[in-house]
Structure formats: C-alpha cells, structure tokens
Chain A
Amino acid sequence: MSLLAVRRVSKRFGGLQALSEIDFDIGPGEIVGLIGPNGAGKSTLINAVTGVYPPDAGTIHFDGHELTGLAADRIARLGVGRTFQIPQPFGSLSCLENVVVGLLFAGKVASVEAAAAEARAILEFVGLGDKAALAPGSLTIVDLRKLELARALGTGARLLLLDEINTGLTAAEITEAIRLIERVKQRGTAILMVEHLVRVIMGACERIIVLDFGRKIAEGTPDEIARDPAVIRAYLGGQKGGGDAGR
C-alpha cells in the first residue's frame, strides 16, 4: 500500500511542458531520491504535490486522500511536509516560533505551551537547540537548512519532500546531514529528496527517480540508475539549459 501515489501528472507553464505524465509511488518509510538535470521539473513536481499549484492533468493520492486540487495548507495538515530550496523562514519569528507554527497549524498540537516544548525537542533533534531564541536572520546557511527541516518536521509530516537541502554545504556538513536524514527515516517518515549530489543519493536513497525535460526517464536502485544509459545520456549529453524554468 503506497503512501504517495502520483499518477500521470502533467503541468504546463505557457509554452513549457514542465511535467509530462509523471507516475510513481512512495511507500511508508522509504527514502526516495529525485534527480535530473537543471530544469527537469523536480521543484515543479514538489510544488504540484504540495499544492502550490495544481497539476493540469493526473492525480495525486496520499494515504487514501486525493491531494489534487487541494489547498497547500490542507495538504500540509494531511501530513505532507516540505522544505524550500532557498530557505524561507519566518523572519519576524524566532527559530522556536518558526517550528511552533507548523506544530500548531499542521501538527494539530493543542496548546501553545505544548507546541513550544515539542518545538524545542525538534530543534534539539536537528542540532539547533541552542539557537531556539534567535531570529533566523542571524543564522548560517547550514543552520537555515536545519531550520527548514525542523519546520517541516514540526508539521508532523509522514512524507517529507526535501528540495536540495544539501546545496552549499561542506563535505563534513553533508555527512552530518545524511545522518540526520537517516534519523528522520527511523522515525518512520518517508522522504522524497531532490538532490544533485551523487554521494547523498547513492548513500542515503533506497530508490531513485530520474526526471529529464519533465518526463520520468528512469526509476530504480542507485546501482541500476548509475548504469542506466538513458540517465547517463541525460547527464553527460550536456547539461541542459541554464535556467530553472518551470522547476
């Protein structure tokens, strides 16, 4: 029984077909990677699943609920969380409050006090425990990414969509990030992560989906993907397009 079922999802922006007949499943507790050259449609897919905009065609089901056409906040309350490629915390709130928002509104925690306590625990979990009182404006990029994760965790998500959460990190930071993601998986959360870094994909993901020009061109284990000629062609046949149109 799959947790997330994406069936023939398509999305067009003006003249650009950003997604074409995307079809895949994610099971409970799985870590799945989503890779592809720039402009392949990875962020578009995440946006479509989380309700930022509806797909033009196809359906998305999560744990029996139909997500297609639902508002983004409703989808969050159903248990789908996400991070943003460019960290976008609530600038007027402290790190603690940033996580509290998710707990109160998506996580359905009853009281502000309970939410504050749980938020503190989540911040500890990601390694930001000592920065709870700070405003996000003073955080480093590493910490901002951790905050993104913390905020997404606060929503109580059973499926987390991570959008390039490791970009800009040093090798040591990436190792730590992988460990963190492992710990998230151990809590039973399924993860779909958009990634560029081969190390992370090969190391952390059980299964990989490959997009190119809005189409799914391959799906399989890391080893299978590494040997797939279509994937190699997509990547080594030249980086496609400089822009992030339709991502």
Chain B
Amino acid sequence: MGALRRLRRELIVAALMLGLPLLLLTLVRELFVLQVLTFVFIFAIYAQSWNLAAHSGQFSLGHATFLGLGSYASIIAASRLGLAPAVALFVGPILPALAGFAIGALCRRLREAYFGMVTFGCTAIVQVLVVEQFGWLTNRWDGLDAPRLAPEGLPVERVAVLNYVISLALMVATYLVVAAIIRSRIGLAFVAIHDNETVAAAAGVSVVRYRLLAMGVAGYIGGVAGALNGHTLTRHISPGVFGLEDSIWPVLYSIAGGLGTPEGPILGTLLVRVFWEWALRRIGGFDSLILIGLMLALVVTALPRGIYPVFARATAALGARLTPNSVKQP
C-alpha cells in the first residue's frame, strides 16, 4: 500500500526539518531569530496536537486546556517535587493526557459545533479550578515561575541555542510519531471516524475508543508543548493561558499548513508566525490579527473544500506523494 514509500518520505522530510534549522544555526546567532524559531518549533508541536485530534473529526476549540495543564503540571513537578525539568517535561503532560481522555469521554457523542462549544467550556472550567480550587498549588492569578530547562550557569546565548536545538529535536520527534500514527491503522480509523461515524462503526471501528485515543494523545503532545514553552521561553505560567487566544492559534496554524497531513502544522506555524512577527512591527498587533482573520476568511470561503487539496497538489508537484493508492480529499 505504499506505506514504506511514505515512511521513506517522512524520514527525508524529517531530515530536512532537522538539517535546515541546524544549518541556519551556524549562520545566524541573532538572539531574536533564534527565539522566534524556537517559538515556531514549540508551537508547531502544539499545532500538531490539534491537528491530530482534528484528524479524527474532533475539532477542539479548547486546546489551551492541554497547553496550560502541561505547563502547570511540568512546572509544579519540577519546582515542588524536585524533578529535573528535562524529566518533568515528559511527566507533566500526563495530566493533560488524562484530561484529554476525560474530555474525549465527555464529548464522545458530540460533533463539530457542539464539540467546539464544550471543549471551549472545559477550558473555562479548568481556568476556574486552577485559580480557585487549586489556587494553593498554582498561586492563583500570579502564576508560577518555571525552573529553567537549560543547566545553571550557562550564558544567555548558549541557553538560547540549547532551547533552539531541544525544541527542534522535539518537533521533529513529534512529527515522526504523528506521521507514524496517521500512517497506521489507527490513522485509518481516525479518518473513517472523521468521515462518517455510523459507517465506521458498521465497519467494525470502535468509535469511542479511537476518539478517546486521539484526545488523549493530543493532550499529551499539547502538554509537551506547554511544558517546553514554560521551561524555555516564558519561564512562567499563569491562568491567562486558558483564554480563547491560545485555543485559536493552533487552528490557524493547522489550516494555514493544510489539515490532515503531519507536515501541515509545521509549515503552517512557520508561515503564520513569521508573518506575524513581520506584520507586528510594520502595522501593529491589532492590524496583524485583522489581516490574519481576513486571510482565514478568504481561504475558507474561496477554497470551501479546504486548502488541503491545494497543498496536496503542491506537494505532489514537489515529488512528495501520498500512497499511490490513495487520493485523499477533505
């Protein structure tokens, strides 16, 4: 079925993804560029997480739950439980993974608009819980400071490079993992569920089990992004993370890069973020967001079948092809 061909293609893409930024690293040492790209790497992981859930038809509008819980859990594990940040980075996301299972279970019969509303609502509820019920642990609205991922004593430039490389490595690793999932029978189940749940069930796919799996894995990956962000770039976490903004960005990144592919979120995050950094300085934050909104509106109305076919044709032209026996359409 061409699975081997896909694997080879993914490895090539991964190598490029790893190699080009490393090459860039040798040429550029400007702190600002490093930080922007580190942000791209981290949030590409976050977008990847949203995209995976979307692959199974679960379009979450409350993904910030995973980002925030991952940050909080990791930071608390590192500062309160004494775990090394590098370890906490992978332990913390277990919390959002569990949250993913819970939310997935809660919403297992909901689609589209209902699903979006409830996931958004869950984020609001989580925010209240974090501030009120768990305020003794989370320091309420002030938030928590995060221990640094990089070892003590390193100069600022070294830290930036380290953050850059670690984030890049994690992004590529996430890419390979997600690509493997999408390529596997699990990915097939996801697409079947996305297309038609009733028919998927009639074909033997356990809809609930796979929906939960998608949300749980998405929760873990999103949590890793949050934890990484906390320990490297922001060095802090506060309840503001549970707002609408951080739930909208991964949607934008994924749409920009093309839904349904493992490369899409990475490309999309890069495009949107670079545009954002450029636009922010030229026309200011508000206008940039208006522009992004206009572009999104344009893309959605002009390409109603989604921008994926455009992207697929483009990548097909570049020689990267999906399985020879599949023509994926949105």
Is there any pair of Cβ atoms, one from A and one from B, under 8 angstroms apart in the complex? yes
- Residues of A at the B interface (CB closer than 8 Å) are 50-52, 71-74, 76-77, 81-82, 84, 88-94, 96-97, 100-102, 104-107, 112-113, 116, 132-135, 137, 151-152, 154-155
Given A102-B203, A155-B203, A72:B188 Cβ within 8 A: no
Partner of A76, one of B184, B194, B204: B204
State how many residues of chain B have any CB contact under 8 Å with chain A: 30
Task: Tell me if A88 and B188 are in contact (CB < 8 A).
Answer: no
**Whose C-beta in chain A lies nearest to the C-beta of B183?**
A112
For the A-B complex with A73-B204, A106-B204 known, give 14 more contacts whose Cβ atoms are closer than 8 Å. Answer: A71-B208, A73-B200, A73-B201, A74-B206, A90-B191, A90-B196, A92-B330, A96-B325, A97-B188, A101-B203, A105-B205, A133-B326, A154-B203, A155-B204
Question: Would you give 13 A-B contacts (Cβ < 8 Å), ordered by A?
Answer: A71-B208, A73-B205, A74-B206, A91-B196, A93-B326, A96-B1, A97-B325, A100-B188, A102-B203, A105-B205, A113-B1, A152-B202, A155-B202
With both chains docked as a complex, state the minimum distance between the C-beta of B198 and any C-beta of chain A, in angstroms.
Answer: 6
Q: CB of B282 within 8 A of chain A?
A: no
- The CA of A106 and the CA of B260, in the complex, are separated in Å by 25
Partner of B195, one of A52, A82, A92: A92
Task: Tell me if B202 and A72 are in contact (CB < 8 A).
Answer: yes
In the complex, what residues of B have CB within 8 A of residue A52's CB? 198
Chain B 196-224 near chain A by CB (<8 Å), digits 1 or 0:
10111111111110000000000000000
In the complex, what residues of A have CB within 8 A of residue B195's CB? 90-93
Chain B 33-80 residues near chain A, CB threshold 8 A: none
With both chains docked as a complex, state the minimum distance between the C-beta of B62 and any C-beta of chain A, in angstroms.
Answer: 25
Q: CB of B82 within 8 A of chain A?
A: no
Chain B 305-330 near chain A by CB (<8 Å), digits 1 or 0:
00000000000000000001111111
Partner of A104, one of B188, B207, B330: B188
Task: Tell me if B3 and A112 are in contact (CB < 8 A).
Answer: yes
A-B contacts counted at CB < 8 A amount to 111
With both chains docked as a complex, state the minimum distance between the C-beta of A68 and any C-beta of chain B, in angstroms.
Answer: 16
In the complex, what residues of A have CB within 8 A of residue B196's CB? 88, 90-91
In the complex, what residues of A have CB within 8 A of residue B256's CB? none
In the complex, what residues of B have CB within 8 A of residue A93's CB? 188, 191-192, 195, 326, 328
Task: Tell me if B326 and A77 are in contact (CB < 8 A).
Answer: no
In the complex, what residues of A have CB within 8 A of residue B227's CB? none
Most buried by B among A51, A72, A133: A72
Given A72-B202, A90-B199, A91-B195, A137:B188 Cβ within 8 A: no
- The CA of A73 and the CA of B207, in the complex, are separated in Å by 8
- The CA of A113 and the CA of B4, in the complex, are separated in Å by 11
Task: Tell me if A101 and B328 are in contact (CB < 8 A).
Answer: no
- The CA of A23 and the CA of B218, in the complex, are separated in Å by 46
In the complex, what residues of A have CB within 8 A of residue B188's CB? 93, 97, 100-101, 104, 112
Q: CB of B172 within 8 A of chain A?
A: no
**Whose C-beta in chain B lies nearest to the C-beta of A113?**
B1
Q: CB of B189 within 8 A of chain A?
A: yes
Partner of A82, one of B1, B202, B260: B202
